[in-house]
Amino acid sequence: MMEQFTKQFINGQWKKGSSDKSIENKNPYNDELLFTIPSANADDLDDAYQAAKNVQEDWENTALAEKQAMFDRLLQNMQKEKEEIIDWLIKESGSTRVKANVEFAAAVAIVRESASFLTRTAGAILPSRTPGKENRVYRTAKGVIGIIGPWNFPFHLTLRSLAPALATGNTAVIKPASDTPVTAGLLIGKLFQDAGFPDGTVNVVVGRGSEVGDEFVKHPIPKLISFTGSTEVGRQIGELAGKNLKEVALELGGNNVMLVLKDANIEQAAKAAAFGKFLHQGQICMALNRIIVDAAVHDQFVDAFVANVKKLKAGDPSEQETFVGPLINREQAERIQKDLEESVRQGAKIVLDGKAEGTLMQPVVLTQVTKEMPIAENEIFGPVAPILKAANEEEAIDMANSSIYGLSGSVFTEDRYRGVQVAKKIETGMIHINDQSVNDEAHVPFGGEKASGLGRFNGEWAIEKFTTIKWISVQDGYRDYPI
């Protein structure tokens, strides 16, 4: 199977990429070269989009029972291949076993939810002001969807777009992140192929951004580009798509906040914060980036939080007890160290100093952080926890809203009504009372505000995103016109 994953997956065939360039797939923990894949070029991309277009109408019109059987087999195959999927997540994306199992469960949930769209994608019949007329609203697939998969939760987040796209009658071309070509694309392509999905419904093109990145978005065939990744790249995709009048679904960066109010259960807040900050080394768009604590309980929270973080083992992600594994590459580690050092220079205090070696960073906890420091202003995407002190609830809300991002968040308080009132004031797409920020349920809307993206994934909101509607009116008899 390793040899199969060195190829592109286009129109049901595994073929060598046509570019003279290649992509190295490495284990981020030990830098082991897993394999080298010949890259795709613009011709391969065009072949993939053409294949998806050629079968889209037939796929949309495939009998409901046949589609349901394919999704049933897909879910069965995912369970059968669970250990292989988890193994790939560990060695390709640096996932710990805890995180890989969380991701696998989320992926199963999104496929199961998407399968329900087969009987939930409905139109409507509406009355008319015109006598004898019936207004029909038909909901149909958009056509071909271009999906750019990320490297942090590659398996789940690619499926989060692919499964609903296919369930609503679309076909797709996936461009996986170059750091995770297997788990963000090729392994997914094989699972769909093995489940009996027709050739061309799912295509995977692994290519360098310099060769196929812009063309992936600008190509005339895809009607919508679904992207999960950084805000910087998301802006570029949005600009290219806008010039070509193409729709986008963008789930971008986050500078997510936890507010610990003065009446919070400190022990529970500290435990939740440790999980929400350091799961997958903080490389989650929903991960806690800033922990804002009321001055009245600040010191108590810091002590409890540090005590919980000290229990987290950093190291080899394949070991069962490891909670903090490697960053995806050395560039990410160097970027975080730079922001960390600059923030300390500006006055931040390190209260838990984790060693950094290669891609492995042990947890770091900072206090005396201000909102202007780079470690609080920028999305960290790593195992550094900045704690900010707020004089009161109002200042905590102002600090939370000072970020350009607005993806997820958290409020800890013993007064749930108060928590909801505070949550309503936070400019974010999602926020959780007495829980940390990393939450994703397949039937609940997922998405952000401000620089954290456009649109919503999951549930009925995904149906809306991946379909289009057409109004067809039917006149009973003939109208009388005033002419």
pLDDT in tens, 397-451: 999 999 999 999 999 999 999 999 999 999 999 999 999 999 999 999 999 999 9
**Averaged pLDDT for residues 6-25:** 95
Cα–Cα separations (whole angstroms), residue 235 to 144, 266, 446: 22, 38, 19
Residue 64: in which H helix or E strand, if any? helix 64-80
* Size (the chain), residues: 483
Model confidence over 254-266: pLDDT tens digits? 999 999 999 999 9
Q: Reply yes or no on whether the pLDDT at 349 is more than 90.
A: yes
pLDDT in tens, 148-174: 999 999 999 999 999 999 999 999 999
Which pLDDT score is estimated for 1? 56
Nearest Cα neighbor of 408 from 442, 446, 371, 443 is 446
Number of Cβ within 10 Å of residue 245's Cβ equals 6
The rounded distance, in Å, linking the Cα atoms of 66 and 303 is 57
Number of neighbours of residue 404 by Cβ within 10 angstroms: 13
> What percent helix, strand, coil does the chain show, rounded to 5?
40, 25, 35
Helices (H), ranges, 310-457: 330-345, 374-377, 393-400, 416-425
pLDDT tens, residue by residue, 53-111: 999 999 999 999 999 999 999 999 999 999 999 999 999 999 999 999 999 999 999 99
Q: Say what the pLDDT of residue 211 is.
A: 84
DSSP letter (8 states) at residue 31 = -
Cα–Cα distance for residue pair 321/332, rounded to 1 Å:
24
3-state secondary structure string across 244-300: CCCEEEEECCCCEEEEECCCCCHHHHHHHHHHHHHHHHHCCCCCEEEEEEEHHHHHH
pLDDT > 80? residue 46? yes
Residue 469, judged by CB atoms within 10 A of its CB (0-12, 13-18, 19+), counts as exposed
> Exposed, middle or buried, 395 (CB in 10 Å: 0-12/13-18/19+)?
middle
Given its phi and psi angles, is residue 334 left (phi above 0), alpha (psi -120 to 50 degrees) or beta?
alpha
Q: Indicate whether 210 pLDDT > 90.
A: no
Q: How confident is the model at residue 4 (pLDDT cuts 50, 70, 90)?
A: confident
CA distance 162 to 195: 14
* 301: three-class secondary structure by DSSP: helix
Residue 358 has pLDDT above 60, yes or no: yes
Gap between the Cα atoms of 211 and 205, Å rounded: 12
What's the predicted TM-score (pTM) here? 0.95
User: What one-character DSSP code corresponds to residue 164?
Assistant: H
> Contact, 200 vs 54, CB < 8 A?
yes
Give the amino acid at 340. L
DSSP secondary-structure letter at 198? Answer: P
How far is it, in rounded angstroms, from Cα 291 to Cα 101?
26
Q: For residue 357, how many other CB atoms are within 10 A of its CB?
A: 9
pLDDT surpassing 70 at residue 2? no
Lowest mean pLDDT across 205-214, 249-258, 266-275, 320-329 = 205-214
Would you say 466 and 164 are in contact if contact means Cβ atoms under 8 Å apart? yes
Q: Is 33 exposed, middle or buried (0-12, 13-18, 19+ CB in 10 A)?
A: exposed
Q: What strand order describes the sheet that includes 256-260?
A: 349-352, 364-367, 384-390, 288-294, 256-260, 409-412, 432-433
Is 11 a residue whose pLDDT tops 80?
yes
Angle between helices 97-116 and 82-93 (to 10 degrees): 120
* pLDDT higher than threshold 60 for residue 287: yes
Cα 7 from Cα 124, distance rounded (Å)? 44
Q: Residue 205 pLDDT > 80, yes or no?
A: yes
pLDDT of residue 268 exceeding 60, the answer is yes
Helix axes 459-466, 154-167, angle to 10 degrees: 60
The answer to whether the beta carbons of residues 140 and 470 sit under 8 Å apart is: yes
Active site residue 251: yes
Q: Tokens 């296919």 — which residue?
A: 166
pLDDT tens string 172-203: 999 999 999 999 999 999 999 999 999 999 99
Mean pLDDT of 461-466: 96
Set out the domains of the chain in order of their start, with CATH numbers: 4-252+452-471 (3.40.605.10), 256-433 (3.40.309.10)
Q: Which of 92, 211, 247, 251 is catalytic?
A: 251
Please say whether the beta carbons of 405 and 255 come within 8 A.
yes
Percent of the chain at pLDDT above 90? 97
Which ranges of 19-63 would DSSP assign to H, the alpha helix?
42-60
Cβ atoms of 226 and 238 within 8 Å: the answer is no
